[in-house]
Every structure is written in C-alpha cells, then in structure tokens.
Structure 1
Amino acid sequence: MKQKTILKEVSLKGPGLHFGQETCLTIKPASPDTGYIFKRVDLEGKPEIPAIADLVSDTSRGTTISKYKASVSTIEHLLAATYSLGLDNILFEIDGPEVPILDGSSKYFVEAFHKAGIKEQDAELKVYEINENLSFVDEERDIEISTFPDKSYKLKVLLDYKSEILSNQYAFLNNLKDFTKGVAPCRTFVFLSELEPLLHLNLIKGGDLDNAIVIVDKESTQEEFDRLAKLFNKPSVAVQSSGVLNNLKLQFTNEPARHKLLDVIGDLALTGFRFNGSVVARRPGHFGNTEMAKLIRQHILNQKNQPSPDNIPVYTQNSKPLMDSQKIKEILPNRYPFLFVDKIMSLTKTEVIGVKNVSNDEYYFSGHYPNNPVMPVALQLEAILQTAKLFLLSSNGSDKNTYEFPQISNIVFKRQVVPGDVLIIKVSQVDPVNGFIRLKGEAFVGTELVAEADIDAKKIK
C-alpha cells in the first residue's frame, strides 16, 4: 500500500465559526512522510504547525493546535475529510486563525479533494496495529472512549445528553469508504440553551442558521425565536416536530450522532498515523477525542521504538561464547573494575553480540543505591561502547587504542537495569556518516530494549 497526496492545489474561502474572519484555505500536495501540516501564511515567517495531538492547545468549542505563537482552530472537519479519503501528506496554507466553517460539515472539503484529484506516491504506507486496550475516562464530564485491537479501522459513537429531544443516538462506521455519503454531509449541532450565551460572548461570529442544527432543549416563546431570527438575519424560525429549529432539514434521523463520529475521525487524525483499531466513544467531545489521540499516538510511537523480533539477539546461559573474559582482555585494555563485557557470543563483519552479567556484588551498587541498587546509565553506555570498540578492533585487526568515539547521539535509556539482569549488547555497523564509522548500539534484558545509542567512530592515526 502506497502513501497518497493530491494531484493539484485547491482553495476554499469562508468565515471561521468563532471569530467570523474571512479566510482562504489552500490545500497543496506534500512529499512522502510529511503528514498534515498547517501553514499560517498571514503571519511573519509563515510558521508551520504539524497536525499532531501533542500540539493541541484548546478544545472548548472545536480543536485548536498551536506552536509557538501561531495557532489554527476548528480543524476537525477538514482533517476528517483528509483522513477518510486516504490522504497521507497534505500542506494546508491558511491566511487566518480558523478553518472556514462552510456548512458545518465535511462535505465541501471532500468535494475539494475530489476536484484536486488523488495520487499515489512512491513511498510505502505503514498501518499500525493497536495491540492492547486503550481507554480514556472522564467521570466529571461523563465521557468514555476506548480503542480495542481490530483488523480494520472502525468507529462507534453513542450520545446520551439526558434530553428528551436528544436522549440516545447511535452511529457507526465500519469502512472509511462509507464516509463520503454517510458521514461527511452531517452538520454540527448546538443546543438552544447554549446559543444565546455564545452569541453574547462573541464566540460564534461566523455562525448562522445555515451551518448548524439547533436542538430546542428548553421552553421558549415565539418572541424568543423571533429575536433569534433577527440575530441571524432570518425572516422567522420555529420548532419542527423533530425538536429542532426549522432552519435546516435533517439529512439523517441520527445526524447529530453521525456528526460526532465525524469529529472523532478528525480529532483522531492527530495521531499522525494510520492504524487498525475499533474505537467506541460514549458522549465524545473534542477534549476526550484528542486525549484518546494522544494515547493512540504514544502507543504507536512505543511500537516504532521497539525493535523487530528478528533483530533481538537470543542468549541462553548454556550458550557457548565465542570469547571469554580472558580473550576479551587480549583485545580491550580495560580491566576490573572497569571492564563491562563478560562474553562475546558472536562476531561478524557487521555485528557483534556481547554479554554483561549484572551481579549483586558489583562495586557500584554500594553507593548506587544501597537500598535500591540500579546500574548507572553511564555504565550501561560504557558497556555498549566497550563492545563497540571490541568489534572495531577485532574486525579491522588493528592495534589497541586505535579508535575513538567523537560523537555519541540519540542516547535513550528505557528502563532500569538491576542486580540479576543479563545485559545483552548488540552493536551493528551501518552506513558511514561524514567520514565516520557509524555504529548502532543496543542493550537488551531478555527481549526488552533497555538502552540504545548511535555511535560515530574514528580511527586514530
């Protein structure tokens, strides 16, 4: 499966829902592995904001992402269309703080993408699997969103607003191909009890009675409806038998639930990844949606950081070593108590596997720490470096002390190493970088990666 973008750029114009500012959104193709990027072309320096959950800054009446002093609001309807159409790399150039609300749905964004055309790119698409249950619960807001392992991307939404008009509604989507007809046209909704306070707070300057379903959740007089009609420049409004204002006709009996499903898709696009999983959301909103996006994003990042099972070295206590400590001391100048490689299990032209048994009587445990002994991370790195040096000296047949490590980067320590652990150290040679020999050092306990680093080595002349 390949990554996708659009064939040509396309633009849409309209006011934002909350600020009412007329904005132009230009959607452009982007290169592979770009993801979704918003670019504020109206600001100095034209700052770019990646569409990822880490950058969510507000979810009060829509989803806002921010980086430094730049932000873009109400991005969820646009991202729902982008993600559902299978687009992976898009640049959104916008000249204002808010995506145009248009009709309050994803319909016109879908039409714009079809107008632009969709093309495959010369890059493979990675789809990640959710392999454990993930849950976000907010008892105060009465929100519950869970994601379960599944072989495909599925969503279910349940609304329960304890309202006679909108008591229980349900919507589901088992295939993103059904988004265009069944979800994209569904418009946002608002309760009548929320409408006037929002107007008085100037929070829906770009809203009108053509881009939102108004649910009548309180007793109101015709005089109040007439005042509302005047605010929105309508001749009149009244309540339909369905319990909504007659400003719009419902396209589906469960249109509010379908719109909430649309919002979930858009907010979960902020994971930054394609994934298979079944999402079940009860009373979802932008806050809960984006919190779930953060959980899924972290879950996938953890997967990306874990090495493939094929790359994890296998070691058993009964395995016969290629080199014991005596042979190692013939190659390395290090001696007790500063020799941190006990055995070499295998050695090839591109890779070495070493072992360090972390015993209870290591000298450093008396001070690090007596009641909770932990191997210092500096010594974990030292064990990796000694294994790397042994690899270089053995592979190149050079004299001792003929290599140095001018740069060690991307150092990550993932968990504590304690007495009784067996540190399995793998050092692999990768492509040279800037004239240096580049090595990848990894340390495992069992099958768990506990430390890693990129090592640049240089021969001393």
Structure 2
Amino acid sequence: MSNKQQTLKAPISFSGKGLHTGVSVNMTIRPAQADRGIVFRRIDLEGCPEIPALCDYVVDTSRGTTIEHAGNRVSTIEHVMSALWTLGVDNAVIDIDAAETPIMDGSAREYARAIVETGLEEQEAERKYFQVTEKMVYTIPEKGVAIILFPDDEFSVSLHVDYNSKIIGNQYATFNPGDDFSVKIAPCRTFVFLHELEPLMKMNLIKGGDLDNAIVVVENPVPDDQLEHLKKIFNKPDIRITGGYLNNLELRFNNELARHKLLDLLGDFALLGQRIKGRVWATRPGHFANTEFMRQLKRTIRKAGEKPRYYYDCRKPALYDINAIRHMLPHRPPFLLVDRIFHCDETSVAGIKNVTMNEPFFVGHFPEEPVMPGVLIVEAMAQCSGIMVLRSVPDPENYSTYFMKIDGVKFKHKVVPGDTLQFEIHLLEPIRRGVALVEAKAFVGETLACEATLMAQIVKNKK
C-alpha cells in the first residue's frame, strides 16, 4: 500500500434504504484534499453540517456504529468506512441525504466494487501511521470479548467468533497484507439471530431489514404459526428454513459470519483516523468494543504527542534571534513573549521564552506565588505562530496577525520563574486569504503546559 495519502479519482453514488430507519437514502462519495480525512456531510439539513468519521464522535453502537457532531448524526457507517479505508481511501467527503447509510445487500460488496472501478488518486501528503511498539489489550471479560494489538510492521487481523450456536459453531477469519478485500471480506453480509428479530422490531429498528440484506440464523425448530407470522413480517409467502438459515439457501463463504465481523472491525478501526502498523487478534468483537478500543488507542497516541517533537539546543545559533524577531513582529517589551526561534519550515515553528522573575506580570500574579498567566502563554504561542505565517510575506514588518478564534485551550502545568517555555506550532491546513489555523503547544522540559487551536488573520498595517 502506498505511503502517500489517496482519494477517489471521481465521485461515486449509491441509493438504497437504511437498515434501521427504512428510509430511502442517496449517498455520493466525493474526492477530498489531503489531510481532510473521511467526513460525512448531511446535505438534507440546513447548512450541510459535517460529521468527521472519527471515534471521538461515536455516540451509539447498539446495532451499528453511529457518529454525531454538533447535534447532527449519521448511523450504520461501518460498511462504507470499511470499504473506503481498507481499499486505500484516506480522504473523502460523503454527501448523504438521510441519517443512515444505505444497507445495500447487507455487505460492503457494492461499495468495494465501485471504489475499485473508479480508482484512486495519489496525493502529495504522507500517510499517518500509528506504529505499535508494545502489546495493547482491551477486554470485556463477562462477555468473552478481547481485542489485542501486537507490534508488527504491517497491519493484519485474526478474528474468532463463538456465540454458543450449534448453527454457527466456532468461526475464524483473517485479513493479511496482500489479501483482496473486495473478494475476501467485502461480500460478507450482516447477520441476526431469529430470536433477536421481535425485540429489534419493538425497538423500532430494522425497518429496512429483509431477507435480501441480512442472514437470519435459526437455532431452534420454528412452529408453523411462527413461520406464518414471519411470512407476514417480511411479506414473503415462501419463507422456509434451510440448514439453520432463513431463506438464505447458500452462504457466500462457510465462515461468512466471522468475515462479516472482520468487515465491521475494519470499518470501526478506520475511525482512529490514521492507519495502524500492528497485528490484531480479536475474539467476539463488536461495535462497542471496536470503537472503545480505538478511543483507548487515541488516548495513547495523544499522550505520546504530549512531548516536544523538536529538541532545543542552546549551544546552536538561533534561526531567529531576538533582533530578527523584533523585525518580524510588531510587539515590544513588556509584551514581546518570544526570545528565540530554533526551528521553522512551511508548516511548523518552534521557539522558546525564558521566564524570569523580572517579568512585570509577576508583581501581581501572584506576589507570594508567582505564576505566569495562562492568557500570556496563549499570547506567546500566538506570537510564535505569527512568525511562521509572516514568513510568507516579503515585508513582514508591515503586517500584524490578529486572533479570530481560540479553541480547545487546556492548561496542564503551571509556569513559574526559572522555566524555559518551548513552543511548538503546527499548521492544520493551508493558509487561505491570510487566515491561518494552527495547533499550538507549550512545554516546560518534556511536560505539556498548555495546548490550544488558534485561528488568526494576517492584516497589513495602516500607514
């Protein structure tokens, strides 16, 4: 698989009904720029709100995976996510005119077929990978659920299901590097036990379910009156039980149910938002366990990201010393809060501030317990960001940067006299019309002191 991000060469569209809502759905998957990720867009709602396909936004896993953002949701996303992510699509915008994706035939076969036929386009940006370095475990002991992630150089899955069913038995499925998802996994359909049908219907679910888009497992003999009832439910006069399955005369694989669980797992793992280099062993996985494990993994990634990426060496010459900074920024003492820039490129910058007792704010904040005000740490990060964005203009001394928005500010460690604050700023998207959106972090040593997402605009100074 390519180490570059990929998107579709052209849009692809699907129509069908939602499994649980039963409503007619039109869905178009469109190419998207690098680093966009996979995003659902509810075009049936005012403003076409977007819902990022990330585990942070999972709100329900009872009979499928549902994500929600700002009060807008889309459900049963696992099949289309599985097809997109596993076949190599990193970036796509999915326009959908309902709250649920179309179930199609209960598998990801049609999704996979369309993706393969349309083809992918390689993008300039590098793929993001999480390299597993130690064994990670998620379990629900009372349900026999276990997902274990082992270190490896490539991604693979081995999966086992056992529902104490004499029809299903023990089933195993694997997905290894080089396997063809379109052939091996995508055609495998969703399944349900017959005894689950009535409760699901009473919960106002599976309105779009029928014997053409689901495998119904029949464990025990079915009385004639129940069979008649099923004929009315599905509006099919010829319902019969064959080999323990309702009207499914032939499975696509002898372990189709395990393969479908693997399909679901791949779709839920895609919600991590970056690819995994590791080997997965899963026993009786489900949407709840899959997405909770991804949340756990994301916390691990975030924790690893709470350390500086760049190493400051005071013995090396500054990239920009205080005189160069004064030339670029309009700020002056006592409000110039960056002393040195030691790294800068097109998308990131790193600098420092030496915090001393001579800072004027320590006179009142606080006289007996001097602490650097959090708002000034944010201001210092913004000044550091300004240096990065002002490099894009030929005469930075004639421009200023102004805050437009500050989001997600967290203060995690107090800053006191004697500390050296290290700032790291990363551009989250290309600068457009003078507007920059950045991720900003401030460290004391290897300890994260503050983080925020900042938006600012470059404005030319009035003469």
Counterpart-to-counterpart distance in 2, 1:347 and 1:205: 57
Other-structure match for 1:237: 240
Other-structure match for 1:400: none
Cα RMSD after superposing both structures:
4.7
Other-structure match for 1:252: 253
Counterpart-to-counterpart distance in 1, 2:303 and 2:57: 19
Counterpart-to-counterpart distance in 2, 1:12 and 1:142: 37
Consecutive unaligned residues of structure 1, counting only runs of 5 or more, are 323-332, 389-403
Counterpart-to-counterpart distance in 2, 1:73 and 1:439: 31
Is the contact between residue 73 and residue 99 of structure 2 (CA under 8 Å) also seen in structure 1? Answer: yes
Q: Tell me which amino acid in the other structure corresponds to 1:313.
A: Y
Residue 313 of structure 1: how far off its partner (Å): 1.4
TM-score when normalising by structure 2: 0.73
| Structure-2 change in CA distance of 1:355 and 1:460 (3 Å) | farther
Residue 375 of structure 1: how far off its partner (Å): 7.4
Residue 429 of structure 1: how far off its partner (Å): 13
Other-structure match for 2:114: 112
Is the contact between residue 18 and residue 206 of structure 1 (CA under 8 Å) also seen in structure 2? Answer: yes
Counterpart-to-counterpart distance in 2, 1:139 and 1:259: 22
Q: Following superposition of structure 1 onto structure 2, how do residues 128-207 of structure 1 map, counting pairs within 5 Å?
A: 128-132=129-133, 133-175=135-177, 177-207=179-209
Other-structure match for 1:49: 51
Is the contact between residue 155 and residue 177 of structure 2 (CA under 8 Å) also seen in structure 1? Answer: yes
Consecutive unaligned residues of structure 2, counting only runs of 5 or more, are 319-331, 386-399
Counterpart-to-counterpart distance in 1, 2:96 and 2:378: 46
Total equivalences in the alignment: 426
| Structure-2 change in CA distance of 1:439 and 1:237 (3 Å) | closer
| Structure-2 change in CA distance of 1:41 and 1:137 (3 Å) | same
Of the three residues 209, 212, 215, the one matched with 2:211 is: 209
TM-score when normalising by structure 1: 0.74
Q: Tell me which amino acid in the other structure corresponds to 1:160.
A: D
Residue 18 of structure 1: how far off its partner (Å): 1.1
Of the three residues 98, 101, 124, the one matched with 1:99 is: 101
Counterpart-to-counterpart distance in 1, 2:425 and 2:189: 54
| Structure-2 change in CA distance of 1:423 and 1:458 (3 Å) | farther
Counterpart-to-counterpart distance in 1, 2:189 and 2:382: 59
Of the three residues 217, 220, 226, the one matched with 1:224 is: 226
Residue 194 of structure 1: how far off its partner (Å): 0.5
Q: Following superposition of structure 1 onto structure 2, how do residues 262-277 of structure 1 map, counting pairs within 5 Å?
A: 262-277=263-278
Partner-residue secondary structure (3-state), 1:193: helix
Bigger radius of gyration: 1
| Structure-2 change in CA distance of 1:424 and 1:249 (3 Å) | same
Residue 29 of structure 1: how far off its partner (Å): 1.7
Q: Tell me which amino acid in the other structure corresponds to 1:237.
A: R
Counterpart-to-counterpart distance in 2, 1:156 and 1:377: 48
Q: Following superposition of structure 1 onto structure 2, how do residues 247-396 of structure 1 map, counting pairs within 5 Å?
A: 247-303=248-304, 306-308=307-309, 311-314=310-313, 355=354, 377=374
| Structure-2 change in CA distance of 1:414 and 1:183 (3 Å) | farther
Is the contact between residue 355 and residue 417 of structure 2 (CA under 8 Å) also seen in structure 1? Answer: no
- Residue deviations 1:125-174, cap 9 Å, x none? 32322345443333454433233332112222221222333342221212
- Residue deviations 1:256-302, cap 9 Å, x none? 11100100111111122223222332221111111122223343445
Partner-residue secondary structure (3-state), 2:180: helix
| Structure-2 change in CA distance of 1:302 and 1:246 (3 Å) | same
186-195 vs 2-11, greater mean Cα deviation? 2-11
Residue 253 of structure 1: how far off its partner (Å): 1.8
Counterpart-to-counterpart distance in 2, 1:440 and 1:254: 46
Is the contact between residue 82 and residue 267 of structure 2 (CA under 8 Å) also seen in structure 1? Answer: yes
Is the contact between residue 238 and residue 246 of structure 1 (CA under 8 Å) also seen in structure 2? Answer: yes
| Structure-2 change in CA distance of 1:423 and 1:181 (3 Å) | same
Is the contact between residue 239 and residue 247 of structure 2 (CA under 8 Å) also seen in structure 1? Answer: no
| Structure-2 change in CA distance of 1:131 and 1:380 (3 Å) | farther
Counterpart-to-counterpart distance in 2, 1:113 and 1:257: 23
Counterpart-to-counterpart distance in 2, 1:407 and 1:17: 45
Is the contact between residue 423 and residue 443 of structure 1 (CA under 8 Å) also seen in structure 2? Answer: no
| Structure-2 change in CA distance of 1:374 and 1:4 (3 Å) | same
Counterpart-to-counterpart distance in 1, 2:176 and 2:418: 46
Q: Tell me which amino acid in the other structure corresponds to 2:55.
A: A
Q: Tell me which amino acid in the other structure corresponds to 1:46.
A: C
Residue 94 of structure 1: how far off its partner (Å): 1.7
